[in-house]
Amino acid sequence: MKQVNVPKPKAKAELHVDMPGGINDILVSYDGKFITYNEKNLVNIVNTTNGEKQSIENLNTEDLLKSIWLPDRNLMLFLQKESNKINLYNYDVEKKSKQRIITITNYLSTYKDFNIKSSAITGVIYVKIDSMIYRTDINQTKVIEVPIRIKDSTDIFIIPTKDRVVYEDVKNSIYLTQPKEKLNIKSDSQTKILGVDDESIIYLGELKDGKVISIISSSPKKERLKLTKETEIKDIFVNNKGEVFVNDSSKNVITELLSLKETKYEGSFLSFYNNGVTSILNGKYYKIKFDK
């Protein structure tokens, strides 16, 4: 036998792609590899590892009602207005293929608020249009209107392992569907749903003047987490493990509230992704993993 030393391959230098000025609706994929943004009339997607840019065919920003990245793979879902219909599509960025899934409902110019939530485990997709919720299952052969009404600006969440939706009704109470169940969490403040982890634990932010001051959960084992200062909802991220990350843009630092571990970043905060934070520095895109 003879020992052979194999040199480790040199790590490729991280590419920081340019972020053009005048763009909006920037979205980051679950692993931070892809970003999408609207520029003029186009919906553009950039591979941040090699700078390759593509546009979704036959889609302009005027007809795009809502788009999301799936939480576990580089696939997009989006709602497109076509011939007075609202159609649900997916887009595979690796294959550069667009596929129509199903028609959700008729389009009305009065509609203002749209959202999409999907569960990779159950294969169910929920679409929110103003106060109405629509459901299509893994077979994607029909759409069912869910008989609940919620506030237009309220987000919805899916229990990952079950076909259940968590939502806030018009009276600011938190409910689950199938079967309908009210979430009984004691709080003297108005609350807002922040996320749901893989253990089906629901996380709520207690609000003061629209900002989060503390975080509570549906698990009796988890204590109330108080924030050091009032925080915007967009600056809080709950991952599938139940870790809660809070961004402080004034210090350029992300803090995980349970472990108190901090992750520093440079530039302007852009968004969270599953394992880290993204930012823009000198017009370029940066991706930083959470410190563990």
Please provide residue 234's backbone torsions phi and psi, each rounded to the nearest 5 degrees.
-65, -15
pLDDT value for 137: 85
Nearest to 111 by CA among 78, 136, 86, 88: 86
pLDDT digits (tens, 9 = 90+) for 270-289: 999 999 999 999 999 999 99
pTM of structure: 0.90
Query: In sequence order, what are the beta bridge partners of 88?
Result: 79, 102
Q: What is the pLDDT of residue 10?
A: 54
In three-state secondary structure terms, 257 is coil
Predicted confidence (pLDDT) at residue 120 exceeds the cutoff of 90: no
Pairing of strands 75-82, 236-238: unpaired
Q: Please compute Rg for the chain using Cα positions.
A: 20
Q: In the beta sheet, which residues pair with residue 169? A: 150
Query: What is the residue type of 148?
Result: I
Rounded to the nearest integer, the mean pLDDT of the chain is 91
User: Which band of pLDDT confidence, cut at 50, 70 and 90, is reported for residue 169?
Assistant: confident
Strands of 181-182's sheet, edge to edge?
157-158, 165-168, 174-176, 181-182
**255 Cα distance to chain centroid:** 19
- Are 263 and 253 spatial neighbours (Cβ–Cβ below 8 Å)? yes
Q: Which residues of 38-53 are buried (b: 16+ CB within 10 A; e: fewer)?
A: bbeeebbbbbbeeeee
pLDDT beyond 90 at 152:
no
188: CB partners within 8 A, 6+ apart: none
The most confident of 130-144, 159-173, 190-204, by mean pLDDT: 190-204
Backbone angles phi, psi at 243, to 5 degrees: -80, 140
Q: What is the pLDDT of residue 21?
A: 84
pLDDT tens string 172-196? 889 999 899 999 888 888 899 999 9
pLDDT of residue 141: 82
Token pair for 273: 């992704």
> What average pLDDT does range 74-96 have in this prediction?
95
pLDDT tops 80 at residue 87:
yes
* Predicted confidence band of residue 8 (pLDDT cuts 50, 70, 90): low
User: What burial letters (b/e) apply to 226-252, b meaning 16+ CB within 10 Å?
Assistant: ebeeebeeebbbbbeebebbbbbeeeb
Is residue 29 a contact partner of residue 273, using CB atoms and an 8 Å limit? yes
Q: How confident is the model at residue 7 (pLDDT cuts 50, 70, 90)?
A: low
Provide the 3-class DSSP secondary structure of residue 199.
Answer: coil
pLDDT in tens, 230-270: 999 999 999 999 999 999 999 999 999 999 999 999 999 99
Encode 94-111: b = buried (16+ Cβ within 10 Å), e = exposed: eeeebeeebebeebeeeb
pLDDT at 139 over 60: yes
Query: Per-residue pLDDT averaged across 42-71, rounded?
Result: 94
275: nearest Cα among 4, 16, 30: 30
Q: What per-residue confidence (pLDDT) applies to 2?
A: 72
Please compute the mean of the pLDDT values over residues 139-165 and round it to a whole number.
86
Long-range Cβ contact pairs of 72-75 (< 8 A, separation 24 or more): 72/30, 72/120, 73/30, 73/120, 74/29, 74/30, 74/31, 74/33, 74/34
Give the pLDDT band (50/70/90) at residue 221: confident
User: Which pLDDT score is estimated for 38?
Assistant: 92
